[in-house]
Structure 1
Amino acid sequence: MGMSQHVASPASAASAALLDLARDIAVRAAEFALEARRAGVSVAATKSTPTDIVTAVDRDTETLIRSLILEARPDDGIVGEEDATHIGTSGLDWVVDPIDGTVNFLYDIPAWSVSIAVVEGAGGGAIGGTTIAGVVVNPVTGELFEATAGGGARLAGRDLAVNDAVPLSAALVGTGFGYAAEHRREQAAVLLGLLPRIRDIRRAGSAALDLCAVAAGRIDAYYERGLNAWDYSAGALIAREAGARLGGPRGGHENSELLVAAAPGLYEELARALREAGVDA
């Protein structure tokens, strides 16, 4: 009797091929950025505020990533943090954060990452499409998180799963803060309302790694306001494929206004607590 053999669908095979390419590019970019960090780094410019910084390594790493993407897939679009959007014609956009956690990178805190996602149907941008593959690499630890839509999330070949059945009172919750003083004041007020209702807060400094931490069960939930698509696209897919529920303002999809990620049983409790603390989750 012949043994039945699972045949991947064309869509899943395409996602796997994109993931392979994203992984290869992310690893090369991580090696490049880590070597540059070891050689020394300084602030090249500021962006929205004096504390919102960019280094030459950010720019050089994104340039490397863009060149590798276009070499392999010249018709795809690219949306990155440090350079103008490259409009493609294929219907696929690569959403790139060359160094997520630039302040950690500057201070040599080993919690920064290279984040690369592939988004389908976004219409020449990163918003409104479906993320089909994502990779987040911590160059210092060498950990590589990855996922494809419908294919699960993995770390070093191990399937990831969020912590389930955790009540809000026992939840370890990650978050982050904006750069502008007025936004930080509002975020601090929310934190004051939330902190007495949970186990504790963690602030690692990289949204991509925080979302991967949810996926790996290292924290129970994560929320943040003011993120950009390149901050969260890959990490959100990884968390979702590990079983997390993700959402945004007023019960909608996660976006730059708000992202909340938690196991399904915890999500509603956390969203309610955030609303009561002043966030319209």
Structure 2
Amino acid sequence: MDVLVIGGNRYFGKRLIALLRKSGHRITILNRGSSGAPGGIEHLVADRDDEAALQSVLAGRSFDVVVDQVCYTPRQAEIARRLFGPRTGRYVMTSTVEVYADEDRTVPVAEDALDLGAVTVDTGPAWEDPQFREAHYGEGKRQAEAVFAAGPPFAWTSVRVAHVLGGDDDFTGRLAHYARRIRAGEPIAVPVVNHPATYVYVEEIAAFLAWAVEEDFTGPVNAHSPEPLHTADLCAEIEKQVGGRTVFRTVETGEVSPFSFSRAYAMDNSRAVALGYSFSPSSTWLPQAVSETLTVKR
């Protein structure tokens, strides 16, 4: 298949590209040019916010599947729908667990917990501000999905990715933050009621996306490992590997540590399983994920 990957030539994006190449797909990468493409892969350069530039670079091209890893706003989604509707048989958007930011449920949330038809879409200029975009990450993804769900039929799926762990190229610094505080015995701020969350191993989310490229399902799908993890689970594994002692400090208001959650919105992956994908339990890969991430950061 001819597969276009938009953005994402790092972290699980680069793993996805490697898997697609291994499977024999013809890969084209499109980004702004800030990062190149692996040898032997065609590289298109354009700013995805510039519709005219995208139209020009895509002229005369079509793809079996488009994997869009950097669709963050409803405006970007509208451009993608216009340009790729006639150019691809299927469009796969990487989305996020944060689309459920308004949820607080005692049971894991399934895809239909979010009614995309009820989402208000605002394509105003605020989305052009990088700080606004970052602060409204989940909302941007939610509105982008709503754009794809509305209007004329369009073969799309959104992969709602859980919190990703693992890899020596983890750019978030979140586990390293925990490791520093645990080694020093410094307190880790958590909410009074701290809920577990759903996670996925970096290698497995790449594998799931590669699998999704070859499937034909549409609509949103949650992607995560069974066995939600609590902040204490992460800290216990970090203690085993770097030493130190975990000290939690509960706070009623104010900032808390990453990977601690005052709301319950763990995802339900029943749809992915029913479609034929089996995720590894979190306990089977957590030690490896922590080891990879902290090896070069100790």
TM-score clears 0.5: no
Taking structure 2 as the reference length, what is the TM-score of the superposition?
Answer: 0.22
Name which one, 1 or 2, has greater alpha-carbon Rg: 2
Larger relative CO (CA 8 A, sep 6+): 1 or 2?
A: 2
Taking structure 1 as the reference length, what is the TM-score of the superposition?
Answer: 0.23
Q: Which has the higher strand share?
A: 1
